[in-house]
Amino acid sequence: MQPTHQPKTIVFSSIIVLILFYSLLEFVSYLSLSTEEKKLPPSQLLSVNQNKFIEDFSLKTGCLFSETIIGHPVLGYVHRQTPFMTERCRKTISVNNIGMRSPRNLPLRKNPNEFSVMIVGGSVAEQFANYVTSNGHLYFEDLLNKEIKLPEGKKFKVYNGSLGGWSMPNQIHMIELYGERVDGVIALDGYNEAYPVSKGLRLEQIFPDLYLLANSRYNGFNQLYLRTLWALQYGLSHKIIKHSYFFNVSYQIMVAFFHDMIMSPELLEEFSKGNIEQINLAKEDAVNWSLNNLKRFNFQFHSLAKANGLKSAQFLQPTRLYGKVLTEKEKKPHELIEKEIYQKIENMYKSLAKEKMPVYSLTNVFEKDRQDIFSDHIHYIKDQNDISYGNEKIAAAIVERLKKTWKF
């Protein structure tokens, strides 16, 4: 009797069919890409328009930004206190007593032997405040203590008071809430404020998706779906599937489903227009109104600091919009703000400086640099040794300005 080879034939045929089917999926996925995306290898598709602050937060810690935030009665949202985090987040994220990402708690009372400085703003300010040297020390704190000698042997101590996605008036609120516990406050801001200004919106409006996620349970459906996305995102960053067009496009489809169905435009509109005043002016008039509102908030920031006996300083952060010759890599991420809007904001900051407010522009701080500094639309690159040239240059520029203006 002849031995049958049918099972082997079926297995071989099945493998061929699967390979052909997967090849078809890869081809169709490639065709679905934009012209610009087709120029990139699949391993770069995930990162080209990714917010590096969110990407670094989630991929390096295994903890989603969205599952760490929780609604706050004044600030919109903060990071959850440790007992209310998932087990994974507890192991990888350090959150202090006021809901900021930092291993350092803000003391209830000022230490008379230190000059405490709180850094306020959005994600750029948060990364700046938490940027550490190879020895684990806060870079900005070390530089302050090296360059500025305080009387009576005091030392600077830096505290993070900033959080990704925040903008004015949260810088003001941080003084209202914690001003009696620090000696100085530094704002590194401008970019997050530029978006509502460009749309002629009120500045206190929180992105509705963050608002909804911050007020949902960490084990709810939204969070579970986002964790599924994270698992695929992690695979596309570290596993062999990053070389696949199909899995990259699948990730984009899942993200689109989240934004179009789970966080639908109708739902987001309710929480972006239903809970805040709408500025019913012509576009140009609305932009100018919003810009003047930002100027008023900036003025209040310094006035409130002075009323609390604090030294203050505010720095307009540099962007890719102007002030640096961009590399080809820096040109790729999508830009969220128009150059003209940011120039208007810079002119407003300069007008406050003329009124003797401690307000300064850092838009030209990278003008002589030709290397990659920006990792996306606004954040700074860290190299393989976790060194961030952008943060270090910002720190140097701020310290030079404080040496001339903060008198002790």
47-68 CB burial, b ≥16 within 10 A, e <16? beebbbbbbbbbbeebbbbbbb
**Per-residue pLDDT, 243:** 79
User: 331 or 217, which is more confident?
Assistant: 331
Average pLDDT over residues 180-202: 97
Q: What is the mean pLDDT of residues 327-355?
A: 95
Q: What is the pLDDT of residues 31-66, one digit of tens each?
A: 877 777 777 777 776 665 555 555 666 666 668 787
* Residue pLDDT, tens place only, 260-310: 767 778 878 888 888 889 999 999 999 999 999 999 999 999 999 999 999
Whether residue 4 is predicted with pLDDT greater than 60 in this model: the reply is: no
What pLDDT shows up at residue 125?
A: 98
Structural contact between residues 252 and 264, judged by C-beta atoms closer than 8 angstroms? no
Tens of pLDDT, residues 90-137: 888 899 999 999 999 999 999 999 999 999 999 999 999 999 988 889
Q: What is the dihedral of CA 210, 213, 215, 217, to 10 degrees?
A: -160
| pTM summary value | 0.83
| pLDDT more than 70, % of the chain | 88
Give the residue-averaged pLDDT of 164-187: 97
What amino acid occupies position 327? Answer: T
Query: Structure tokens of 342?
Result: 């940011």
Q: So where are the chain's domains?
A: 111-205+276-405
Percent of the chain whose pLDDT exceeds 90: 59
Look at residues 168, 165, 145 and name the one whose alpha carbon lies nearest to residue 155.
145
Return the CATH number of 111-205+276-405, one of 3.40.50.1110, 3.40.30.10, 3.40.50.2020, 3.40.50.1370. Answer: 3.40.50.1110
CA distance 186 to 125: 9
In which band, very low, low, confident or very high, does the pLDDT at 174 lie, cut at 50, 70 and 90? very high
Query: Can you give the pLDDT at residue 213?
Result: 75
Question: Does the CA dihedral 137-140-146-150 come out positive or negative?
Answer: negative
Average pLDDT (253-257) is 74
CA 203, distance to chain mean position in Å, is 17
Q: Looking at the DSSP assignment, which residues form a beta bridge with residue 305?
A: none
Q: Is 98 exposed, middle or buried (0-12, 13-18, 19+ CB in 10 A)?
A: buried
For residues 65-91, average pLDDT: 89
Q: Considering the chain, what is the average pLDDT of its residues?
A: 88
Quote the pLDDT of residue 278.
92
pLDDT band at 244 (very low <50, low <70, confident <90, very high): confident
The torsion angles phi and psi of 20, rounded to 5 degrees, stand at: -65, -40
Strand partners, 116: 157
